[in-house]
């Protein structure tokens, strides 16, 4: 992304709140509601999508994170997990809030906290689905930022989350 212009260019990696990480392949004109409009064509890991240039601010997108922010997110994950609300409606609402924005830190905290809850109790469908999607998004972004195979990062993430749980258990003693 061009910091000065605030625009995205071909080859830039972005994170979309719904579709996850993707790379901009270019611009295309498409007809929408009977009008020709300019779109960014984005190739995600599991789909292709188009973002209208006229409404980029309205979309929940951001450039891929920096190594510094990634390291901070990993440190957040390594901290003892917070307890999620006991009421499943409140938990589901908290999960939905994480998906509304693209904050890497909110994603990291929710992964950590849902992982901890999963070790203590069964997750409901919404929580289980969210944990899988959040992990996928986080791992995809980590892989792009560090240029490391995702399988290697899955193992690292498992170790970080296990250490986080251990810290929580030690704090309870």
C-alpha 19/C-alpha 60 separation (Å) is: 10
Residue 149 or 19, more confident: 149
Domains of the chain, CATH where assigned: 13-63 (2.40.10.170), 67-172 (1.20.58.1290)
Q: In the sheet that 20-32 helps form, which strands lie side by side, from edge to edge?
A: 48-52, 35-44, 20-32, 13-16, 61-63
Please say whether the beta carbons of 130 and 138 come within 8 A. Answer: no
As beta bridge partners, residue 31 has 36
Binned at pLDDT 50, 70 and 90, residue 162 comes out as very high
Tell me the percentage of the chain whose pLDDT exceeds 90.
Answer: 65
pLDDT (0 to 100) of residue 2: 37
pLDDT (0 to 100) of residue 5: 36
Q: What is the pLDDT of residues 90-127, one digit of tens each?
A: 999 999 999 887 789 999 999 999 999 999 889 999 99
C-alpha 39/C-alpha 56 separation (Å) is: 9
pLDDT (0 to 100) of residue 3: 37
pLDDT (0 to 100) of residue 139: 96
Binned at pLDDT 50, 70 and 90, residue 51 comes out as confident
How would you class 29 by CB atoms within 10 Å of its CB: exposed for 0-12, middle for 13-18, buried for 19 or more? Answer: exposed
pTM comes to 0.86
């Amino acid at each position: 992304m061009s910091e000065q212009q605030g625009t995205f260019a071909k080859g830039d990696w972005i994170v979309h709140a719904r579709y996850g990480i993707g790379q901009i392949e270019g611009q295309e004109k498409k007809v929408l509601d009977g009008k020709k409009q300019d779109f960014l064509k984005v190739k995600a890991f599991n789909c292709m999508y188009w973002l209208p240039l006229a409404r980029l601010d309205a979309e929940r997108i951001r450039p891929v994170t920096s190594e510094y922010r990634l390291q901070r997110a990993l440190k957040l994950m390594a901290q003892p997990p917070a307890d999620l609300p006991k009421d499943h409606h409140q938990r589901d609402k908290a999960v939905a809030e994480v998906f509304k924005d693209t904050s890497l830190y909110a994603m990291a905290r929710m992964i950590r906290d849902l992982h901890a809850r999963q070790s203590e109790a069964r997750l409901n469908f919404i929580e289980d689905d969210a944990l899988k999607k959040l992990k996928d998004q986080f791992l995809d972004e980590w892989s792009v930022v560090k240029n490391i195979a995702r399988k290697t990062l899955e193992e690292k993430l498992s170790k970080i989350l296990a250490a986080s749980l251990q810290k929580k258990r030690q704090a309870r003693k």
